Structures are given as C-alpha cells and as structure tokens.
Chain A
Amino acid sequence: MEIEILGNKDTRSGFGEGLAELGRTNANVVALCADLTGSLKMDAFLKENPERFFQIGIAEANMMCIAAGMTIGGKIPFTGTFANFSTGRVYDQIRQSIAYSQKNVKICASHAGLTLGEDGATHQTLEDIGMMRMLPNMTVIVPADFNQTKQATIAIADHQGPVYLRFGRPVMPIFIKPDALFVIGKADIIKEGHDVTIIACGHLVWKSIEAIKVLEERGISVELINMHTIKPLDEAAILRSVAKTKCVVTAEEHMINGGLGEAVSQVLARKMPVPQEFVGVNDTFGESGTPMELMTKYGIDTEDIINAALKALARKG
C-alpha cells in the first residue's frame, strides 16, 4: 500500500491554522477560549483578530452559553477548550442552549482521548463522541490528521448548525493531502480491498494504515474507511464496502460504548448484519503515561487492529 507521509504534526495545530484562515476570510467568525489559548493553538487568530477573540476564563458553562447568545445577530462562534471540558462538564448548557436551540456554535475540542497522555484520566475523555452523537441537531466530526483537521475547521464555518469537532495533542503522521476535498458526512476511502473493512476515525486511522501493512504481508486485502464524520454517518460508504468484504473492524480512541463502532453496528444490524470487531477502550478509565504507552495498554494500538481483523475474518468463515 502506497501511503505517503507528508510530515508529522498534531491535529490541534490543524485546528489553529484553520481558525486563523477563517479569521482572514470570514468576518462573522469569533473565537472563545476558557484559558487554554496556547494549548488550542488559537494564538494566531488572537493575534490577527483581537476584537473577535473572547477570553472567558476558567468558566466553560458560561463560555458555551455566551457562544449560543453570540449567534443571535449572525456571529459564528468557535469555542476552544479540552474535549473533557467541552462536553461532560457543560453537557446541559450544550443540550439546552446550543443543540435544542439549534444555535450555530462550533464546539472545538482538543486533547481528546488517551493520547492527552501524562495528565491522566481526569482529563482523558473517552465518552465525548457518545455524548455528542446522542444530541439531536449535533454534527460530530473527528478528523484523522493535521491537514484534515484544518480542512474540517474551515468547512464547519459554512455549515449551518451546531458542530462538535474533536482533535488531539500528539504529533502524528500527516497522510491526507493539503488540497484534499473534505465533505461533512462523506467518508474517505483511504484504500480499497475485498477481505475485511476497517472503519476508523481520528488517530486510529493512522494506526489502521500501520496494521494494513502487516495484514497485506499475510495476503489479506483490507479496505480502509476514514469515517471522519460520526454524525451524520455515511451509511452508503459502510454498506458499499461491507457488501464486498462481509466483515468489519471499527477502530477509535474512545469507549466502545457509545462510539463510532456502535454507530456502525446500528447500521449493520438493520441493513446488513455481518461479523464486527470493536477496537476501542473497554469500559475503563485511562491513566498517566505516554500517548503510545497508553494506546498499547488500553488496546487501541496497531496490534489490536491486526488481531481484530483476523478475528473478524475468522468469524466470517
């Protein structure tokens, strides 16, 4: 498989570059931050547009509802804080003032999942995708690399309605071209194959690419789907692929409960039941460690994807 590595960067920097570009191109975009400007890479936007940047302080509930209020009059607010404080901490504010009220707020969430690393479980949200995809009116996006995070950040400004955009901290390979087309709700087919389908999001797309190298050496043909939009889910892409491969692995840096895998299984159970294996965190909190140590210990590493693919293939019979 020929996947070219274009560089190495963190996805949060993709958000920062996308936001800075929006600052130059869309006068209605405003940014709010709860004391994490540097961590969210919002500095460039702040420097170029100080009058459109709002430092809220450590008060995330206030931030979400100020953002909701700012939409009245036509502004497009982007909120920035860690994923944990962008979701669980402010779920009721998002539910009532953003999702139910259908406000055009873009909730931009960094340091998602285990790969936040050493800060430990208090900050490692693994439930956010589930919480956000349960909210009516909410679009949920988990881009795969730096370039795609930048593209997604720019794309959501033109999408009318609430969006949850999830990205992370670790430096990872860039493999999506800078000029690639990003369409909300339309999955990327990274690679075509016929034995097993892997559907992944976020950092697990790269881990899946690593897994595929090993699987192909064993003569297994893998189709890889980058499901960057968890909601609305690209059902057609799933069904088209699974009709061919007849088995599927889902891979995500999130709880198995409530995540991408569950969303996919809901589609398959209704329309095309096939064996499915789930790579994700299995109903446990994380802990301190390096990002890569954590991915290994909690079962979301390359080896786990390989094993899941072999299991799915075996179950297909």
Chain B
Amino acid sequence: MENTKLVGIASQVRRDILRMVHAVSSGHPGGSLGCADFLTFLYFEKLRFDSNNFTMDGKNEDLFFLSNGHISPVWYSVLARSGYFQVAELATFRKISSRLQGHPSTDKKLPGIRMASGSLGQGLSVGIGAAITKKLNHDNHLVFTLHGDGELQEGQIWEAAMYAAANKVDNLIATIDYNGRQIDGDLDQVLALGNLSAKWEAFGWEVLEMDGHNFDAIRSVMENAISLTGKGKPIVIIMKTEMGQGVDFMMGTHKWHGSAPNDQQLESALSQLSESIGDY
C-alpha cells in the first residue's frame, strides 16, 4: 500500500482512538496513539487474514495477539477499519453490554479477538502456544504479538523468551512498543530495562530495531523480520515510538497513558488529525 494511504488510515485511527476514550472519559490514548502506525501497517499491508469469516482457530491465517491489552482503542479501530465489524460499533467502547470491553475479551465474541488480555505479561506465552499449534497443523502462517515496554517488567515475559529460543519457535514475531513511559512516569525512573537489545540477544532471539512512526522503516524491518522466520530463532522487534504520537500536547509525557481528553482537548487534538476515510 502507498505510504500516503497508510498515513491517511493511521490519522483516521487516531481520531477514532481520541473520540472513543473521550466519549466515556476513560481508556488509554497514549500508547494507542503510539502504536497506530504499526497496527495500521500490520493490518492493511502485512497480515494475512479473512475479516469476513473470523474463526477462533484462525487456520491458514496469520494471527495477532495484543499482550498490552490496555491499548485496546487502537486495536478496535484497526479491526473495525479492516472489516471485522461495523465502525459504528466503536461508539459502544467501554459502555455497558458492549463487545468492546475496556480490555480485549473473547466472551462477547468480538470478531478479531482470540484471547483476553489486560493483566500484563501473558501474551508472549499465548503467542508461543499458537505458533506451536501452527507447526503441529503444518500451517506456515505466522504469529505476531505486541507488548508494552513496561510489560517487560513482568517475569513471565522472560520465561516465555527463554522457552521460545530453546525450542526454536521461529514462526513468531514479537514487537515491543518502546516508548519509555509507563503509568507512574518514565520507565527509567520506575524500573529501568537496561540494555534491552542485549537482553533479548542473550536469551537467543533475533533482534531488530525499528522506527514505529516511519512507514518506509516499518515496511523494511517487517519484511526483514518475516524473511528471518523459519530459521530456528524467534524474532523480536524493538519499536521506538512516542506515547501520544500525533497530538502535540499528548507527546513528551506519560500523563496520557490512561486518561481521556476533555471537550476542549479533544477539539484541539482532532484539529491536528485529518479525517481521511470518515469518522464513525
């Protein structure tokens, strides 16, 4: 897909995110905005799926798992814009009886979601399990996961990292949203991750780095990552992003991790983002 088209879709996704969290005065816009470019690229250019015929088993499709479930707004928007469900349903986000729960869930049967997430640290293990089943089923499609950088403070991530490398789970591409911020402040202040690339390398992973806001860079690194699958090592992409990307007053701070804009802030934010394919 042309970059200009991707830029347009990502702008629309950012509008969706802001309008969703504003409508219920809750949710997590910061990380959602930061991952809008990546998820737009993944769903509109790379992932192989059939949004008209969603199945839980996802055989002969690529699978995506959102491990940092709190950035559900960006995922819901991209799923709707990819045809999994009507974009009008985005207006029900976090409201009573909605299929768009605060954190992603399967129990209300929203197409596109195969695992609940929200309690952090579980999605890499889930992705490994799904990737193993793909191999057992002789299905050569891939499994993608996305994680927050703060989420790497959970010990289970490193259990999973050790397992995937030791067992050559090489049909799995994990991406880390490395924005350097978490609820309580800068990641380095809360609990520094140290040398993140060296850690993953030491665990036996193929490590790539990527600018998460440049579609040429995303394309090139993702294609490289996919070319590295099937070679005996799991792959991790450390994706540099800016929390709140696309809205000037939401960038450069952790404050918008989990708070919604008021009416005036929403107006100011939307004025910075073009309505490319139409608001829901």
A→B interface (CB under 8 Å): 30, 51-52, 54, 56-57, 59, 61-75, 77, 92-93, 95-97, 100-103
Contacts and interface: CB of A to CB of B under 8 A. Distances in A.
Contacts of A51: 136
- Interface centre among B116, B119, B127, by most chain A C-beta atoms within 10 angstroms, is B116
B57 A59 contact: no
Contacts of A30: 136
Interface of B: 56-59, 63, 65, 105-107, 114-119, 121-123, 125-134, 136-137, 139, 155-156, 159-160, 162-163, 166-167
Nearest to A73: B133
Nearest to A99: B116
Given A56-B163, A72-B129, 4 more contacts: A57-B162, A59-B162, A66-B126, A100-B107
B44 to A, nearest CB: 23
Contacts of A95: 119
- Interface centre among B57, B123, B155, B163, by most chain A C-beta atoms within 10 angstroms, is B163
A89 B224 CA distance: 38
Nearest to A51: B136
Closest 3 CB pairs of A and B: A69-B129, A65-B125, A73-B133
Contacts of A96: 116-119, 122
User: Which applies to chain A's interface (DSSP): helix, strand, loop or mixed?
Assistant: helix
Given A70-B130, A72-B129, A52 B159 contact: no
- Interface centre among B63, B114, B122, by most chain A C-beta atoms within 10 angstroms, is B122
A19 to B, nearest CB: 17
Given A62-B156, A65-B156, A72-B57, A52 B122 contact: no
A59 B58 contact: no
Contacts of A100: 105-107, 116
Contact of B129 (A57, A61, A68, A74): A68
A68 B123 CA distance: 10
B119 A70 contact: no
Contact of B122 (A65, A72, A75): A65
A313 B43 CA distance: 68
Contacts of B136: 30, 51-52, 73, 75
A72 B156 contact: no
Given A72-B114, A73-B59, A74-B57, A67 B129 contact: yes
Nearest to A59: B159
B132 A54 contact: yes
Contacts of B118: 96
B237 to A, nearest CB: 20
Contacts of B122: 61, 65, 93, 96-97
B125 A73 contact: no
B57 A102 contact: no
B234 to A, nearest CB: 13
A69 B65 CA distance: 10
Given A65-B129, A96-B118, A96-B122, A73 B58 contact: yes
Contacts of A71: 129, 133
B218 to A, nearest CB: 25
Contact of B130 (A59, A72, A102): A72
B117 A62 contact: no
B145 to A, nearest CB: 10
12 contacts: A57-B162, A57-B163, A59-B163, A61-B155, A67-B129, A70-B132, A72-B56, A73-B58, A73-B130, A74-B133, A96-B118, A101-B107
A211 B163 CA distance: 49
A68 B122 CA distance: 10
A101 B106 CA distance: 6
A77 B155 CA distance: 23
B163 A62 contact: yes
Contact of A92 (B119, B123, B128): B119
B126 A68 contact: yes
A86 to B, nearest CB: 16
A63 B121 CA distance: 13
- Interface centre among A66, A77, A95, A97, by most chain B C-beta atoms within 10 angstroms, is A66
